[in-house]
A and B are shown apart, each in its own frame.
Chain A
Amino acid sequence: MKAVEFVKEYRFELAVLVLFVLAWSLRANVDGLFLDHPGTVKAADPFYHTLAAQVIVDEGKYGYLPYYLAQGWKNMIDPNPPLNYLATAGLTKVSALPVWDVMYLLVTFFEAFGVIFLYLLCSKMFSSKPIGVLAAALYVIPFGIEQWWYGMYIGLWNNVGGFFFFYASLWLAYEYWQKPSRGAAFALSLTVAGTWLVHIAELFITAFAIGIIGLKLLFLVKPFKEKVMHAIALGTVPLISVMLFYPRYHELSGFLTAGSGGSGSFFGWYAPQLAGLPFYTSLTTFPWWLLVIAAIGLFQILLNWRKYTPLLVGNAYLFAHLFIFPWFLSAYYFFIRQRMALPFIITPLVAYALYHFGVRFASKLTKVHEEIYALIVIVLVIGVAALQYPALAPMKNSQHLTQQKYDALVWLQQNTPPDSEVFFLDGYYQMSDSYAKRVAFDLDFPDFIPVLQGFIASNGTMLPTEFSRTGSAGFTEMVNSAIDNGTFFRYGYTKPRSLVQNITNFDYVVMADFQVGDQPFVQAYNARMIQHLVNDYGWRLAFDQNGIHIVQRGGKRA
């Protein structure tokens, strides 16, 4: 087929590819990409996510927490769903790019792929490619991006991966519903297993689609032999993945009741406390006019309910899952966080209404071709949505780990024995010190403040060297104690180390002259502490660059 004919025939698909590339690039640009330091990492979660992939790259095996996040244990099992880490590790190893860039590119790919899923779902459900392209365009920059993209840019990266597999499962379930085949069943099995293995919480929201497909398989696929073959195609991979992963996940099953307000009960009355939960979003996060358009779309679809039954049934379930179940099922991770999918869920309704009033009606009225109006609506939708984009610029500028801090951590990686232990007395926060790849204890900033206050009040004489673990201070670690003891379905357990730690028992202490207001007391404190360690304990200053000091242990301990 000649190029011109090809472009003509597949203009909608090519337009969707362009929209997808635009969507991916816009998302990747929010945190930016950095070849020299982990500038994409903005919170504690992504520090762990990137290092969980890095440890696979470094050690060439899967299944264990990095020893430096496990108080030195080299066989402490990693209970987190691993798919994001394994995909990132493979890409990192083959591309030789830094793990933090590869993971961010992968996560933004997951998020942006909604553009393509929406096109496929809408063009089939509405039997209209223009509606599919409109839906894709609406998802390039959803309205209310600061909230809807929060999980992506702040680091809830497995969550975002979960949505990718959830949307893929919705599309494949719809395909299977329309035309059951072994191939479609097997494809669905991969995305369902992917959902479970990347972020378990999304399996709950995917369960409805799986249930519908199960019913179709049970009652409508015939003859019996074909039914069995479909069941094998659909069930084998998820079953294997459950058998291999459940023993690990069991260590994290407390997450199931994380929204119970401490009661630990899966069932309860949680409605009053929902709005107080972190990352809480609702329909009101959308602008009011978008909700009006969606309501018009829903009304139109209801008028044609026979034609659009799968869409209506699906939306009714998703509404119940996100807005009614959380009232009485332990909310948060399994119901409230899933509201990040609302832009995807609401878009088909908006696209349907926009097509009928913005494209079809206008085209009939003016006798101008529909596609011209579709293009105008797409440009308008993306243009108006793009006005919100500059609000995300601060995310690009804020970094938990600056180049200077990262240089000091790399120095530790390269110049200290792997089993050395480091005390961070530097005001770093949220696991950023974990990039030292050493067993570490952090005195986080909230716990550092009273130490500095005591230092000032005592005219520089009060220099405590012992600190206890609090909410923010402690070992940089994952909370887990399950140890691989050679059996497959059960683990041994360790005892955690003492909650009280003394600086002088560590091999290195890291301090940084960060600024608190215009007061120089942090520098004064650091200088005094270095002097104390050098003079009284025989330590030596081993690294001193950009206001960051690393002191190495001498002979004496407290």
Chain B
Amino acid sequence: MESTLSSGVASVREGLGILAVGAVVSFIPALLLGDPLAAVQFACAFTLLFVFPLTPWVLLLERPWFERFVLATVLGVAGLPITFFIIGVLKGPLTLLVFLAVPFVVFSVGAVLLRRKMKRVTKSEHAHPASASAPPAQPPAP
């Protein structure tokens, strides 16, 4: 799970990894509800609302996967409710549809930016093919 921008598949895999970690860590404490289905409900809601929206955004950053997971979660817990606050204070509705739509919008914008950045990286790789394996500009000193 190193830097993933050169590979869309690796990015998707790392994104799914972040979501899986979010779901698992929130599922276990919720088992104290005494009802596994209720724990699943909590884990899904937690992951969907707070981890999922920022996942493509953190994939844009050059950071190790653990920090990406932490950033996705912390900024999700801060950013999503701040968005709900702005909607609410401007007299917008806070219905189930809004609580679901906002994470999807935030996620979609991040996904578009991630896709663009990946295309740019791929393009520059095509422009300078296999720079890593190219022979050194100067021959080694005898």
Residues of A bordering B, CB below 8 Å: 1, 6, 10, 13, 16-17, 20-21, 24-25, 27-29, 32-33, 35, 56, 60-63, 82-83, 86-87, 89-91, 93-97, 101-102, 105, 108-109, 113, 116, 120, 164-165, 168, 183, 187, 190-191, 193-194, 197, 237, 240-241, 244-245
Whether A90 contacts B21 by the Cβ 8 Å rule is no
A25→B27 CA distance, assembly (Å): 10
Q: Which residues from chain B contact A21 at a C-beta distance below 8 Å? A: 24-25, 28-29
Q: In the complex the two chains form, what is the Cα distance from A95 to B75 in whole Å?
A: 20
Query: Cβ of A29 and Cβ of B86 under 8 Å apart?
Result: no
| A108, B28: Cα distance in complex, Å | 13
A-B interface, 10 closest residue pairs, ranked by CB to CB distance from nearest: A62-B88, A95-B45, A194-B78, A13-B66, A94-B45, A190-B78, A87-B81, A86-B81, A86-B84, A24-B29
Which of B28, B29, B80 neighbours the largest number of chain A CB atoms within 10 Å of its CB? B29
Q: Is B107 an interface residue (CB 8 A)?
A: no
Assembly CA distance A33 to B67 (angstroms): 30
Write the nearest CB–CB distance from B13 to chain A, whole angstroms: 10
A20 to chain B, nearest CB (A): 6
B103 to chain A, nearest CB (A): 9
The count of A-to-B residue pairs whose CB atoms sit within 8 angstroms is 154
The answer to whether B33 and A101 have CB atoms under 8 Å apart is: yes
B33 engages A25 (CB within 8 Å): no
Proximity string of chain B (72-102) to chain A, C-beta cutoff 8 Å, 1 when within and 0 when not? 0011011111101111110101111001100
Q: Smallest CB-CB separation from A14: which chain B residue?
A: B66
What secondary structure prevails in chain B residues at the interface with A?
Answer: helix
Q: Which applies to chain A's interface (DSSP): helix, strand, loop or mixed?
A: helix
Q: How many residues of B contact A (CB 8 A)?
A: 50
On whether the beta carbons of A95 and B44 are closer than 8 Å, the reply is: yes
Q: Do A183 and B61 have beta carbons less than 8 Å apart?
A: yes
Q: Which residue of A lies closest to B32 (CB)?
A: A33
Chain B residues, CB < 8 A from A164: 77
Least Cβ–Cβ distance between B86 and chain A, in angstroms: 7
A residues within 8 A CB of B45?
Answer: 91, 94-95, 97
**C-alpha gap A311/B93 in the complex (Å):** 44
B29 touching A25, Cβ below 8 Å: yes
Cα of A241 to Cα of B89 in the assembled complex, Å: 10
Contact flag A194-B28 (CB < 8 Å), given A35-B34, A63-B88: no
Tell me the minimal C-beta distance from A462 to chain B in angstroms.
47
Cα A96 to Cα B42 in complex, Å, equals 8
